[in-house]
């Protein structure tokens, strides 16, 4: 795992610029591993509908 790539992917995910799957692909890890890295850094995992809205807004999960 490339540490710099993971850090960049996390930063992009936090700002909402990319999805979990895109972040994992960018970092060269599985989505599960990316989710673990996000949680380890206290980043909340966003939940999306099957297809994210055109604006890319995540759905609120309660």
What are the extents of the domains in the chain? 1-62
Q: What is the pLDDT of residues 6-62, one digit of tens each?
A: 999 999 999 999 999 999 999 999 999 999 999 999 999 998 655 444 455 554 443
Residue 10, Cβ neighbours under 10 Å: how many?
A: 19
pTM (2 d.p.): 0.72
Burial string for 19-44 (b: 16+ CB within 10 Å, else e) reads bbeebbebbebeeeebbebbeeeeee
Q: Which two tokens stand for residue 9?
A: 């992917």
């Amino acid at each position: 795992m490339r540490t710099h790539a993971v850090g960049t992917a996390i930063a992009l995910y936090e700002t909402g610029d990319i999805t979990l799957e895109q972040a994992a692909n960018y970092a060269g890890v599985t989505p599960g591993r990316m989710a673990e890295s996000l949680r380890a850094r206290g980043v909340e995992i966003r939940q999306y509908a099957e297809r994210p809205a055109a604006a890319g807004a995540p759905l609120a999960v309660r």
